[in-house]
Chain A
Amino acid sequence: MMSTPFKDAKLHDCRVSFVETLEVLAEANTDIVAVCNDSVGSSKLGDFKERFPERLINVGIAEQNMVGVGAGLANGGKIPFVCAAAPFLTGRALEQIKADVAYSETNVKLVGISSGLAYGDLGPTHHSIEDFAWIRALPNVAVVAPADRIETAAVIKWAAAYEGGCFLRLSRVGVPDLLPEDHVFELGKANQLRDGSDLTIIANGVLTHRAVEASALLEDRGISARVLNMASVRPIDEAAILSAARETGAILTCEEHTTFGGLGSAVAEVVVESHPVPMKRLGVPGVFAHTGSANALLDDFGMASDAIADSAAELVKRKA
């Protein structure tokens, strides 16, 4: 196995896959509409607007209204994809997400674009590294962060058919293909991308391919690392986490999110209550990030592939 499996891989912006899939679905189902906050460009909805002008509902820079409008459209039988930069969708409109989507159980698809550290050097106002914690605390809203172009398309197809609210966390940072072209997304199910016996690395979103690379590096060092892609943060795949704990005895999580309340916390909640094993959670360590591109910041926070591998090796040493 080559140590850097994605060295020459083509990188894809998952927003492209999102809108291409949405357009195919909208062609077949006239109830599908897109709602946005002046984010036609950043959500890549330009083609959608051209093809379905009356079904692109741009409320202007007004996120609270945007989510409320989504809930009202759902009440009227529409399937709204409410698209905005993730920090403003989740932070500005959190109470609308709670009352109008989660508590009212409306069929609203919240699409957080440029999530995580994607806006890099624009700074922490534009980073969305709290959204897993905020949204997964709410009942009735599925939280999903796809890892590549293929999984993004599968998740959008799933969301259109799913009866209920969901938060889809997309990035703009280029990622290589990881999943097979015919991949079908299943809510609450993790995908095992590599098997291993010494520990399990769990990741999602833009971190998954780094976890796969780390696993390859670990193999060169004689450490066998299982890799789980865990797009579905709520509900979470408890069975896959339990198997990982029992069979590999240590779990390392990697996320483009604060270590307070995100994927690592969700995994730890399962592990600590059912089968405690040594764990390490990588993420943004509870700080506002310094200036840097998304990928540079991930490297700085200990999530370069080789640094993930180092953390994994340290973790394996802690096994009893």
Chain B
Amino acid sequence: MTPDELRKIANRIRRRDLQAVYEAGAGHIGGEMSVTDLLTALYFEIMSVDPDAPLDPKRDRLVLSKGHTALALYVTLSEKGFIPKDEVSTFLKHNSRLNGHPNRVKVPGVETNTGPLGHGLPIGVGMAKAAKLNGDAWRTFVITGDGEMQEGSNWEAIMAAAQFKLDNLTLIIDHNRLQQGARLADTNNLAPLAPKLEAFGWAVEEIDGHDMEQICRALSPETVTTGKPKCIVAHTNKGQGISFMSDNVAWHHKVPNDEQYKQAMAELEEAE
């Protein structure tokens, strides 16, 4: 797909996500807007996955470790055909399989049940190790939030991935500089992230996490360094695409009122 086509899909995912948050009266809209371009590039350009065979042993794997942005994943999976598009309207409803965090047992295309932070990367290390043991070419991608990197379990996995030389593993840090309650810089500042990963033996690349060309290039197999796991520090904005939410800590899980919803939708439609 061309970057323009991918941008159109990402815009459609943002609009559907916004509508679902508005209708459900809940969601993590800020982080969903920041991660949408990354999910779009992975599912519509990079990864080999088949909605008709969601458990194909040779599929590429994505672990959305920042599981609270499950809605962005559900909309992406519905756009890709893993779940019906109209099912997104059941988000958070009583008995819906689309709860606030993804469930692999119930939702095809989900690889593991995330929610508590710092779980996805260790699992990604295990997946990548399994592919290496089998001599398989499938790749593993893990998306974490930047605040999530405060969890020590991530650094246990970072050590192991370098030791095991897992060049089939890519960690994408959605670096939107905000966590739930405050800016990273005012909480427990991990930035700059790149030199820390490099010091642990990873190949690191910094990109604009909303620039489709940069995202696709950084995720392409040609940019893998043999023998090293790869980390992409994706500089993003929480609430990307909606002016009054963008880079605003108040919009971690706030729900737009009628007027805000109309304005947000108008801005996204304008951008399309």
Contacts and interface: CB of A to CB of B under 8 A. Distances in A.
Given A59-B160, A72-B128, A99-B116, A65 B133 contact: no
Contacts of A70: 126
A310 interface: no
Nearest to A102: B113
Contacts of B116: 95, 99
A67 B126 CA distance: 9
Given A72-B126, A75-B61, A77-B57, A96 B119 contact: yes
Contacts of A104: 104-105, 112-113
Interface centre among B111, B115, B119 (most CB of A within 10 A): B119
B118 interface: yes
B241 interface: no
B160 A65 contact: yes
A65 B122 contact: yes
Interface in A84-111: 95-96, 99-100, 103-106
Given A60-B159, A62-B159, A105-B105, A69 B133 contact: no
B122 A75 contact: no
B134 interface: yes
Interface of A is mostly: helix
Contact of B112 (A59, A75, A77, A95): A75
Given A72-B130, A75-B130, A76-B134, A64 B112 contact: no
A68 B104 contact: no
B123 interface: yes
Interface of B is mostly: helix
Contacts of B105: 104-105
B130 A68 contact: no
A61 to B, nearest CB: 9
A70 B129 CA distance: 10
Interface of B: 57, 61, 103-105, 111-116, 118-119, 121-131, 133-134, 140, 152-153, 156-157, 159-160, 163-164
6 contacts: A69-B157, A75-B111, A76-B130, A76-B134, A96-B122, A99-B119
Interface of A: 33, 54-55, 57, 59-60, 62, 64-78, 80, 95-96, 99-100, 103-106
Given A65-B153, A75-B112, A96-B122, 16 more contacts: A64-B122, A65-B157, A65-B160, A67-B122, A68-B157, A69-B122, A69-B123, A69-B160, A72-B128, A75-B61, A75-B111, A75-B130, A76-B131, A99-B119, A104-B112, A105-B104
